[in-house]
Structure 1
Amino acid sequence: MKIGIIGGTGSIGKGFALRWGQKHEIIVGSRDQKRAEDKAAEYKQILNDRGFDADIRGAVNREAALEAEVVVLAVKYSKVASIIEQIKPVLENQIVISVIVPMEKDRCTIIPDSGSIEIEATSREDYMADYFCYTTPPAGSAAQEVASMLPEGIELVSAFHNVPAAKLSNLDISLDYDIGVCGNYMHSKNIVFDLVKDIPNMRPVDVGPIETSSMVESLTPLVINIAIRNQKKDIGIKFVD
């Protein structure tokens, strides 16, 4: 299968290229042709060194989307509108996967001990804490917003939001995670289920239609906050019976 990774030069894009490049043809997409080619060569070398005859090449985003059967949107939420504008003219029969999470960092005041301590204005900064929060798009979720921008008939699937990029890129690590998958077409969802299974020990979980994507997207800032506050690193999600 030909997989075009839009944002393939980023950390999560690298992980997808290295994991799926063991079985599939990968096109690393970027706004810059040379950067795409350089990163594709880097990923290919990593897999070749591990004994895989990887088929990975770089291209500008439009070309990556044009030639792919599956297009992965691995970009920041703030960039999604401009990216879709680039690739929309060449989208016809491709399946599009959104891994986009709209979130931002915020700050709050942590009251020490009993909560009765009066904080002096000059020391208030000592009690400020950062945290990540989900910023709900007007459409309800990033996936729903993406769906509204895509050409009619393009099947969109929302998945892979809660995978730690650093661990996805580390081929020495086995990823024992569950992946929530949202979409309105079983044809495309089944293809994404298979792509999840192509990564050893990952399990796809059917969450529902694309309208349920906000539930899965919003778990990303949750797990990041848990990791930070509890001195954990790159945690994911596993559903236990």
Structure 2
Amino acid sequence: MKIAILGGTGNIGKGFALRWGQKHDMIIGSRNAEKAEKFAAEYRDILKRQGYNANITGSDNKNATEEAEIVVIAIRYNQLRSLIDLITPVIGKQIFISVVVPMEKNLCYISPNAEPRTIPITSDQFNADYFCFTMPEAGSATQEIENMLPAGTELASAFHTVPAKKLADLELELDYDIGVCANSEYSKKVVFGLIKDISRMRPLDTGPLEAAAMLESLTPLIINVAARNKMKDISIKFI
């Protein structure tokens, strides 16, 4: 398959490129095509040293979307609207996968319609930065993307609990469970296959797109647990 990573020059883009680039054609997408090609060349070199003749190219986000069969949206939440507006004219039969998480440091929302509030931390034990899931009005970033994409576009939500550094470390086998939300059984089947392409990863069905907020909210939870308990690059396994 031909897979585009929109925001592929970011932290998690490297891991996806190195893991999937062993089996699939990869397109690194960025707002700047020259920057994308620079990173693509770096990823090709890494895989070449591992014995893989990978087909990894770089392009701007719009062209990457047009050329791909699978499109992974791996950008910051606040960039969603401009990205979707950019790529909408070239959306066809691609399957989109969102790894986007709306979260803020030291800022929590009580509910989608509530005003944001900063929760004071007074105890010395917990006097540290923390992250909160800031639920969009649509319920999740995934549902917001669904509302912006053309009707009928295939969309799934996954990979929110994967630590980027470990994903990019090819010496590691990642014994993680990956939740997948999608309304289409076809989309789930394709995403399950991509998860299984990464050694020891196990895909789990976590429901329709309406359940995506539960997946997205795991990201700040994991970051907070790691920071407060002096752990590093942790993930989730259901046992």
- TM normalised by structure 1 equals 0.92
Tell me the CA shift for residue 173 of structure 1.
1.2
Task: Within 5 Å, give how 1:21-36 maps onto structure 2.
Answer: 21-36=21-36
Distance 1:31 1:25 in 2: 20
2:120 is paired with a residue whose SS is: strand
Percentage identity across aligned positions? 58
Any stretches of 5+ residues in structure 2 without a counterpart?
107-118
Distance 2:77 2:135 in 1: 11
1:57 is paired with a residue whose SS is: strand
Other-structure match for 2:129:
130
2:219 is paired with a residue whose SS is: helix
Other-structure match for 1:146:
145
2:37 is paired with a residue whose SS is: helix
Aligned AA (2:194) = L
Other-structure match for 1:109:
121
Contact 1:110 1:129 in 2 (8 A): no
Distance 2:26 2:40 in 1: 9
Distance 1:108 1:47 in 2: 46
Distance 2:124 2:80 in 1: 40
Other-structure match for 2:42:
42
Contact 1:103 1:133 in 2 (8 A): yes
Tell me the CA shift for residue 179 of structure 1.
0.3
Distance 1:238 1:175 in 2: 10
Aligned AA (2:67) = E
Larger Rg: 1
Taking only aligned residues, the RMSD between alpha carbons, in angstroms, comes to 1.1
Structure 1 stretches of 4+ moved >4 Å: none
Other-structure match for 2:215:
216
Distance 2:187 2:29 in 1: 21
Tell me the CA shift for residue 153 of structure 1.
1.3
Other-structure match for 2:235:
236
Distance 1:14 1:88 in 2: 25
Other-structure match for 1:188:
187
Tell me the CA shift for residue 93 of structure 1.
0.3
Contact 1:164 1:235 in 2 (8 A): yes
2:87 is paired with a residue whose SS is: helix
Contact 1:108 1:130 in 2 (8 A): no
Count of residue pairs brought into register by the alignment: 227
Other-structure match for 2:110:
none
Distance 1:213 1:190 in 2: 17
Contact 1:108 1:128 in 2 (8 A): no
Tell me the CA shift for residue 111 of structure 1.
2.4
1:207 aligns with 2:206: yes
Distance 1:194 1:229 in 2: 34
Distance 1:232 1:174 in 2: 18
1:72 is paired with a residue whose SS is: strand
1:208 is paired with a residue whose SS is: coil
Distance 1:36 1:16 in 2: 14
Any stretches of 5+ residues in structure 1 without a counterpart?
114-126
Tell me the CA shift for residue 112 of structure 1.
4.9
Tell me the CA shift for residue 53 of structure 1.
1.2
2:128 is paired with a residue whose SS is: strand
Distance 2:89 2:124 in 1: 55
Tell me the CA shift for residue 152 of structure 1.
1.2
Q: What whole-Å deviation, never above 9, does each CA across 1:160-211 have from its counterpart, x for those lacking one?
A: 0110011111111111110000000000110000000000010000000000
